[in-house]
Structure 1
Amino acid sequence: MTLRSVIAGCGGHLPPNVLDNDALAARFGLDTSDAWIRERSGITQRHLAGPDESCASLGAEAARKALAHAGAAVDEVDGIIVATATPDHAFPSTAVRIQALLGMTRGFGFDLSAACTGFVYALSVADAMIRAGQAKSLLVIGSEVYSRILDWTDRGTCVLFGDGAGAVLLRAEEGERGVLSTHLHADGRHGDILLVEGTAGPLRMAGREVFKHAVNKLSAVVDEALAANSIGREDVQWLVPHQANIRIIEAMGKKLGLPRERVVVTVDRHANTSAASVPLALAEAVHDGRIQRGDLVLLEAIGGGLTWGGALVRF
């Protein structure tokens, strides 16, 4: 039998503070409205971290929910990998801060930076470690507090992002279920179209350029994942995409020939939570019963770097 990394548990956490489009639009005057934001992004609201919340605290809450969902104790976890572009400190890593918050005194922890593609990158690293026998159980977390690196006078970017965290517990098991393959890419020539200046912001984005690259590169990585597993588009039950923009999400759903109800969408309520968006969306669809055991799930994301990637998972 083949040793695979099975998603044993999923968890998501959003800060309780919600900022809707009307409240945000009021900051900009007549040129901005709920309709203006929705038309361009599909977003109606976003969650923002409070002064007592951090990248680590959000990630720890998501991790606790993933452990509870898996029926797992923290002392069985061999390591924590955190994908984030908004760590609380240059060092120590967010992962070891989460380790402490969970009361975990064994194993390892480190952060990984690949912007909005971070969770897919982290999932790939964790999967490789499990397949290589370096770990039997790993927490993979995407956690972001983008509200702290945004220019709140730039309506072209600040309306698009929110804060939150998502986590999965990966467990080594033999069988057909688990991560089938992951596919990672980067092209630094396009690094300047989506970046954070310095270490604390603000975020800058050339939206039209990002959109153009997103559709092309995500389409290619979807085809790559399917071809690697000799699987047709018709075999995919669920698409869990990075929640950046409703237009990109709908374009990817159409490419796979999936009906809208088979594409997990949270961007309307969560906005773009960067590396947290895929695990947040996955956790929601698992906990509300849409994604069932045995379903074939395609994850994909694109972010600053440019980075992009995909993962095919038999849930």
Structure 2
Amino acid sequence: MTNKAYIRSTGMYVPENVVTNHELPQELNTNDEWIRQRTGVQERRYAAPGVRTSDLAHKAVKNLLSKGDVAAEEIDCIIFATLSPDFFFPGAGVFLQEKLGWADRHIPCYDIRQQCSGFIYGLQMAQSFVESGMYRNVLLIGAEIHSNLLDFSQRGRAVTVLFGDGAAAVVVSPATDEKSQILSTAVHADGSGALNGIHMKLYDVGKRPCIDYDINDHEVNADFFPDMPASRNLFTNAVRRMTEVCQNSLKKLALTVDDVDWVVPHQANIRINKSMAEHLGIPGEKVLYNIHKYANTTAATIPLLLAEYTENETIRRGDLLLIPAFGSGFVWGTAVVRY
């Protein structure tokens, strides 16, 4: 068998603090019915004060290692996907490496920022690393802490209701048979959508000083919080791009939607995923969700789905998974995986 890669193991962690739609601050001027109808979100998890993204990732990796499918000493590369790193720099990967007690092993740490498509981009990297023989066991993490970055005034309502905190991890290793392997990955980008979809300037390196923040002036501090222009641009692009990349990937493998056992999509919005499935002609019962429990955890949504649905044995070895994602930038892609 030619050198192929597969997803060897999964792990996840979400904070204990559950925040329902009813518990969101009144200042958002919203309600449970409005949020459910437009997003599918019923609740989300918020990390405790002082907890950072690498802390969530650490617990997700510990959960993965506790399953015994892979030993810590086997891992020879770390890829960390997040838009909410612990600090501006260095990246979260080195903090995770140190917390795992692996610093003296000098394992390389890659930090990538492709927002909601971060896991797919990272999976393609991990697949390439393993299939080229550069590394044998790549630890890929998607983790986010959004709750400390959100605007809880009415101005931030459209964004704040969508997001939650969480982390999940997978290990990508050389495939031992044809039953389990990553069949394809495809990723794309369109920079014209960089500021037309959800984005967060936080600072502008073209300004001096780069951050000019005044909590009492809504115009001055607007760049401090995530912003999502009021248009259907993001929704339309997400449905179209994910549908296209899924169709193209299946066609290249001589597969059809009938061959797909499960769609494991990024959890941005339940309406986006339902519309995508409809365009693809995939029955709704084949599309997996947990957005109602965890909201949008960006780079963590797909590995959270993988970890949760393998743990409850919905996803089984040999199942064909179609894994699409779309994120701000715009960046999008899909993976076709024989789990």
If the length of structure 1 is used for normalisation, what is the TM-score?
0.96
Deviation, structure 1 residue 205: 1.0
Partner of 1:197: 201
Q: How does 1:89-238 map to 2 (within 5 A)?
A: 89-104=87-102, 105-106=104-105, 107-153=107-153, 154-176=156-178, 177-193=180-196, 194-199=198-203, 201-206=224-229, 208-238=232-262
What CA distance in whole angstroms lies between the structure 2 residues aligned with 1:237 and 1:164? 26
The residue matched to 2:172 in structure 1 has which SS? strand
Q: 1:163 deviation in Å?
A: 0.6
Deviations 1:160-198 (A, max 9, x none): 100101110111124322111100000000111221113
Aligned to 2:216: none
Determine helix, strand or coil for the equivalent of 2:28. coil
Give the Cα–Cα distance (whole angstroms) in 1 for the partners of residues 252 and 60 of structure 2.
Answer: 31
What displacement does 1:257 show?
A: 3.3
SS at match of 2:48: coil
CA contact (8 A) 1:3 1:175 kept: no
Aligned residues between the structures: 313
- Residue 60 in structure 1 maps to residue 58 in structure 2: yes
Runs of 4+ in 1 over 4 A off after TM superposition: none
Mapped contact 2:243–2:276 kept (Cα < 8 A): yes
Do the aligned residues in 1 keep the contact of 2:259 with 2:320 (CA within 8 Å)? yes
User: Which residue in the other structure is 1:246 paired with?
Assistant: 270
Q: Percent identical across equivalent pairs? A: 38
Change (3 A) 1:70 1:188: farther
Query: 2 CA distance for matches of 1:257 and 1:209?
Result: 23
User: Quick check: 1:12–1:65 contact (8 Å CA) kept in 2?
Assistant: yes
Change (3 A) 1:291 1:131: same
Instruction: State the AA in 2 paired with 1:169.
Output: V
Structure 1 distance, partners of 2:249, 2:49, is 41
2:285 aligned with 1:261: yes
Cα distance change of structure 1 residues 69 and 258 upon mapping to structure 2, 3 Å threshold: farther
CA spacing shift, 1:33–1:139, aligned 2, 3 Å: same
Task: Indicate the SS of the match to 2:90.
Answer: coil
- 3-state SS, counterpart of residue 329 of structure 2: coil
Quote the RMSD (CA, aligned, Å): 1.4
Q: Which amino acid aligns with 2:93?
A: A
Give the equivalent residue in structure 2 for 1:17.
17
- Distance in 2 (CA, whole Å) between partners of 1:127 and 1:151 is 37
Report the Cα offset of residue 25 of structure 1. 5.6
